[in-house]
Every structure is written in structure tokens, then in C-alpha cells.
Structure 1
Amino acid sequence: MAKKSRNRVVEEPLPLYDGQVVGAKQPCPCGSGRRYKVCHGDASATTFVKRPFEGLPGECDIVAMRELVPAATAPLTIKGHEDRTVLLASLLPVAAPAMHRDSGQVWVGLQVRHSFGDPSREVAAALLDALAATEPGIIGVLANPGPGSRLQDIVVGGTLDVTVHEGFDFWLADLADTEGLEEALQEANQAADPTVRLGGVEAAYWTNVGSKELLRWVMPEPEEDLLSAFARLHISGDDVIVPGARLIGMFRAYGLLAPVWDLPLGTGAEVLEEPAAELRRKLDALLAAGGELTAEERSARAGLANRQVTIR
């Protein structure tokens, strides 16, 4: 008897994620929590950009505002809209992507998840929609922004002036009538961990999470170079930023590494300024020198690599 023929369904190959082969039913490496085939494995998704904020002024601070800092703002100047007040914020009310405020100001939020592959394009799309709006209201990116403008295409200027707030009182700063909003504001403020940006180095943030204090520092250098430099710092003991502190690992977000130190309770932010500047000088010297690692340094580097966590 002849064997019955079977029609076999051949699935189309899925797009690669940053050069990686990912199974269709595996969790998407972007961290969305969805399966790869319905997230960045979807052929209709925007091409994944590993380092979406590269080239923007304050790239490291932008990553910190998106992932670490509860309440921070920075003014932006937008090409063709130089006369408009535009504010980049870590988080907006109701986690809105953007807002056209009653005052005429335009605010855009970073802590929004659309999972279309390029946060720079998603934030820019919300921002441009808010600038084009004729009435106050919340602006949301509900669909794939496609090949539209990125922040790099529309932001003018070479610096980012970040202000870290104790809470979310800035949400009400441009409102004449705040009646009925106090309770919601108080609830938001209670959820915001005290955070301070160090002034002498780029994108280093002290925070008190209640049970501990941390220093989290987003750095722009290539990952491989940073790991080698930090391995050398560890062997020399120079990675102990203040007595009793411990470098507990690094996380990776949007193509950048961020070392994290566990600090003794009561350290505060002010005493970190000088040690952080000194560590930055030593790190820069090691990055410039390069060279082969010793066996001990290679072991330290492997330990650091094993303590990395990818957030986005």
C-alpha cells in the first residue's frame, strides 16, 4: 500500500534579532514578555535597533531616564519648532507617550513600551503628533510608526540639561487649577525612590531604594572595552568607589552597560562626587591604554560578564 502523502506546512523564516537566531516560541530578547514570533519576530515589526539613542546629546542620561530615574526632565529644542516649549520626561501622568498641555507646552515621556523595535522612532512619533495637535490632550503611539523620523533627526543642540525631581510635582507646574489632582500626585510621589544625579560625571545616579543605597552609572564605551577596564580596576581594588561599597554587577540597556554599586546605608550622594570623578579618570586611562589582560584579569572579567543582566 502506498504511503499517504502529507501536506507539510513550512514556516517562513523569522527575522534575526540583532544577528541572533531566536526560536519562534521563545521569549523575545527585547524584554517585552511576548513570544518572539509575535514581537520582533513579526515581519511587520520595525527593524530592531540595538542602540537606539546613539548620537543624541546625553545618550547615557536618556537611557537612565528611561530605565532608572523615576522623575526627571530635560528641555528639548526641535527642528522647525524652535519657538515651542518641549519637555522630555522620564514619566508622564498615566504613563502617556506625549501630551499637548493646556499651557501650549509639549511633553514627551520616555518610560513607555511600544515594542516596535526603535524607541527613538516611537518617542519622536509621539512628540511630532503632540506638536501637530491643535487641542490639548494625551498623544499615544498606538501603531507602528514605520520609517518615520527618529529623535536624532529632529532634536537640535549638543547638550542635554537633566533635572532630577524629588517627585512628580512638575506634572502640575504649568497648571493654574490643580484642584482634585493632589491625591494622585501624592500616590505617584510615594512610589518614587529618592534619586540624585552626580554632577561631576555623566549619567551616574545615586538612589535610595529603602533597604539599600545604589549607584547606577550608564556608560557610553563599547561593552568589551569596559569589561576589560573594569576587570583591571577590580584587580587593583579601584572599583571600590567608597569604603564598604561593592560593585555587584552590570546591566545592559539599549546597547550600553551600566555598572551598579551596592553602597553602605547612609552614604548619600554628595560623598560620591570626588570618588566617582577619580574612578572615571582611572577608567579613561585604562581604556586608552588597552593591552592584553593577565590571567587574573581575565578571570575577573569573566566574573563581571557572568553578572550582566540585559534589561532592554
Structure 2
Amino acid sequence: MGKRTAVKNAAKADDGINPRQPCPCGSGKRYKACHGAAGGPGDVIIARPFEGLAAECELVALREFVPSATVRLPLLAGDREVTLATVLPMAAAALVRADESAFVGLQVQTRSGDISRDLARAAQWVLAAEVGEALPVVGPDNGENPGRLQDLLDPAAELAPEVHKDFGWWLPSDTEPSGEVALSLERANAAIMPTERLDAPGVRAAYWVDAGSKAHLRWVRPEPEEELLAGLARLSVRGQLDLGEGTRYVGSFRAHGLVVPVWDLDRELHPREWNEPAELLGARLADALATLADEPLTDAERRSREGLRGRQITLR
């Protein structure tokens, strides 16, 4: 065995991970430059922070574009029920209201490179917090290791968020806002774009949004990007990449490792009227994805895929 080979083998981490291989955390860096480095990963950006959770798509939607929504956070341990919220007053990381209701916020003022780790810290903090306390921002580890959200939740647990028309839930039901609180609520409510979550078989993390001049469907998809683009391209060539008359596919954005396709919709129709079209589109997409293994893309579908790729933006 040569000297270089011996050194390379000796460099393997105690947990069996080759330091030269990609880090299992998904950062895209080699293990030796990430979690295998002395002192840990530091502020490594985790490209897909909610990977491994059944609720991944919903978490991405709540983090990126749903304005006002809440859902019970299914923690595996802890004596306090915790509610996950899109955004809290002053964009706080966590708080316990006067009525003892505990909340953790997704849309926060500052965050590290790992949203999942930040949420775990906020959840651990709120489990032990006193009534009336708030955590403005998640601080450094301080020697503690709360893990990541994946360590605190049942990975198979799904989320069905309740979307609110305003931020009235910020306060207990018997509390009347006044002064600066009332002004803050008024400003927050004025900034909300009307949003509703679609509820149809096979349709998850799909949201109707009224952007003013147009309405949109934003649908967070769990498939790997290349697979999804191929499936969308196949539908596009077949003339099936829409939700019916007056709708069109306009592009997609990437958020936290997932792709979010977007469609323009007829603004005159009620959000509930898009449940069935979304269900049918989802079934068509599932069928298209199922054919990819046995039926390679045609020339027309490959050209369509590249066109779809050109209509993507990445949220950072």
C-alpha cells in the first residue's frame, strides 16, 4: 500500500464517512470542509434544510410565500403544545403569549445557513420559556446542540396549515389591540396578499394567491429538479401544462432545494374552483413522470425542458 493510500484511508472519519466525500448534511461541500471540520460546520448553507420530512413542501411554502398561516408543530417530546407560524410580531423567532400559547416563527429577521437548525433552537427555547417571553432572534449555539428540526419531529408527520386572512391570531381572542400594537397589526394586515391553500386529493403545498392584477397557483413540488422539469416538458409538448381555459404556466422558482412551478389563473374564479383542475393536473404530471424511465424525452420535449429551465429564478 502506498503512502498516499495509507494516509487517505487513515483520514476517514470515526463515523465511517470519507472526508473527501460530499457531506451528508446536503451542503454540497466535502465532509472534511463541513461537519467533519474541526469545530463543526460553522455557518454552512444547507441547500435543502427540510429534506427527509414529509412536511418538507409545506414548510418551504410557509417559509417563502404564505403570508399568514399557523399549524401545530408535531414535536416528539415536550409538555407544551407549540404552533408553527409563518411570521410573528416583529418577526420574532418564538414567543409565548399571555394566554400561554407558544409559537415558533418561520419568517424571521435573521437566520444562519441552516433554517432547520434555527427552528430546532427556537422550538427548544419556547418549550422552556415563561409566559410573556419572546425570542427576537435565534442566537449562536453557545455550546448547546439542539439538533435540527428532523431530530424533533416524526419524519412521516404531514402538515395541513390553516391560512388566515389577517394577523388577528397574534393576540389572544379576548384581547383588543391598541396603540402601537394596533398600528403594527394594521400595517401587517394591509401587506397581506389574499392566499388560500388548495385542498384536493393528491394536491399538497399548492396555494392560490391573489397578487392584485393576477391570481396565481404556486405549487411546491417534492421531485428532484431534473425529473420534474422533464415531466413538465412532456406535459407542455402534449398541450397539457395548464389548469384549463384562461390559465398558463409562467415559470418556476427554486426555494430550499425544491422547485415551485407557478401558473397564471383567472382572477374571477373562487379559489375553491381550482381544486379539481389542480387535482387533474397533478394526475397528468404523475403519469408523465412515471413514463420517464422507459420513454426518454423526444427532441421536442428536450427543447421544451430547456425553455422551462430558462424561466426559473432562485430565491436566496
TM bucket by the smaller chain? 0.7 to 0.9
1:170 aligns to 2:169 (yes or no):
yes
Distance 1:56 1:142 in 2: 22
1:71 alignment partner in structure 2 = 68
SS in structure 2 at match of 1:167: coil
Decide whether aligned partners of structure 1 residues 223 and 285 sit closer, same or farther in structure 2, where only a CA change above 3 A counts.
same
SS in structure 2 at match of 1:78: coil
Q: How does 1:134-213 map to 2 (within 5 A)?
A: 134-145=130-141, 147-156=145-154, 158-174=157-173, 176=175, 178-180=177-179, 181-200=181-200, 201-213=203-215
2:115 alignment partner in structure 1 = 119
1:46 aligns to 2:43 (yes or no):
yes
Once the two structures are superposed, residues 115-160 of structure 1 have per-residue CA deviations (whole angstroms, 9 ceiling, x without a partner) of 4211010111112112222342211334333853111111246221
Q: 1:215 aligns with which of 205, 214, 217?
A: 217
Distance 2:123 2:182 in 1: 27
Decide whether aligned partners of structure 1 residues 142 and 115 sit closer, same or farther in structure 2, where only a CA change above 3 A counts.
closer
Distance 1:173 1:304 in 2: 46
User: CA offset at residue 308 of structure 1?
Assistant: 0.8
| Contact 1:206 1:268 (8 Å CA) reproduced | no
1:129 aligns to 2:125 (yes or no):
yes
1:34 alignment partner in structure 2 = none
Q: 1:304 aligns with which of 294, 297, 308?
A: 308
| Contact 2:93 2:106 (8 Å CA) reproduced | yes
Once the two structures are superposed, residues 28-63 of structure 1 have per-residue CA deviations (whole angstroms, 9 ceiling, x without a partner) of xxxxxxxxxxxxxxx973332211112223211110
Distance 1:176 1:85 in 2: 21
Once the two structures are superposed, residues 272-309 of structure 1 have per-residue CA deviations (whole angstroms, 9 ceiling, x without a partner) of 11110011111111112213111110010000111111
Of all paired residues, the percent bearing the same amino acid is 43
Distance 1:161 1:264 in 2: 25
Equivalent residues, number: 276
Distance 1:224 1:147 in 2: 35
- Normalised by the length of structure 2, the TM-score is 0.81
Once the two structures are superposed, residues 200-234 of structure 1 have per-residue CA deviations (whole angstroms, 9 ceiling, x without a partner) of 11011001111111110001011111000000111
Letter of the 1:194 counterpart: P
Listed as ranges, the gaps of 5+ residues in structure 2 are: 1-22, 30-39
1:24 alignment partner in structure 2 = none
Distance 1:51 1:97 in 2: 20
Letter of the 1:51 counterpart: R
SS in structure 2 at match of 1:77: coil
Letter of the 2:270 counterpart: G
| Contact 1:125 1:141 (8 Å CA) reproduced | no
| Contact 1:126 1:140 (8 Å CA) reproduced | no
Distance 2:58 2:129 in 1: 28
